[in-house]
Amino acid sequence: MDIADVVAEMESAAADVFATIGWAEEEIATAQRRWPARADAVFHSFSLIRPPDELQARLSVESVYRAYARELLDRVGQEQDTRPGTAVEVVLGISGASLRAPLNHEGFGLYARMWQAAGLPFIDGISDRSGHYEALSADALDDAEEYARRVCRRADRVLAVDGCGGQHHGAPVDCVYADSTETGEGVVGEGEAVA
């Protein structure tokens, strides 16, 4: 490998990172419009939607990352706990498990349910079958979803805002966190501590 190859590899990696940052910023702006009463909390959620290291490669697909970020931002907008696994994390976990052993009825049903919940693109054999699985096994799927989200839980995935300088992207704002630099405390939502 020569220096040109190293530089090309670094440029490619940087382009991927900047693409993900762009998607994150777009999802944040969209979520702020969906949840105007929580726009400040959503604005400060960038670190919350950063892909975990072990999922970095799998969340480099735009539709998958956007679904992941959207669910977490909606939780912030609705003041819900951000620690349970997302639908995307459950889909990725089930996908990985299916490489080791075939999925049973409930496993595939949960996969289809979470695929649809994440808003991932329509795929024949997944998107069009979730109704069948729901009709036959809704209670079992509810239990499986609760378990899967608990297994995918990330204890450190909480919104922590260390204050705000009163500007968002260089524009002056009346951010609810602007005064938190003085007090250093506050509550963002259930399970979301502000340091």
Give the residue extent of every domain in the chain. 3-83+155-194, 87-151
Model confidence pLDDT, tens digit, residues 154-181: 999 999 888 888 889 888 888 989 864 4
For residue 65, what pLDDT is reported?
95
Name the one residue in this structure whose structure tokens are 């991927």: 16
Q: Which of 68, 85, 65 has the alpha carbon at shortest distance from 16?
A: 65
What is the token pair recorded at 1? 């490998």
pLDDT in tens, 81-110: 999 999 999 999 999 999 999 988 899 999
- Tens-digit pLDDT profile for residues 33-83: 999 999 999 999 999 999 988 888 888 899 999 999 999 999 999 999 999
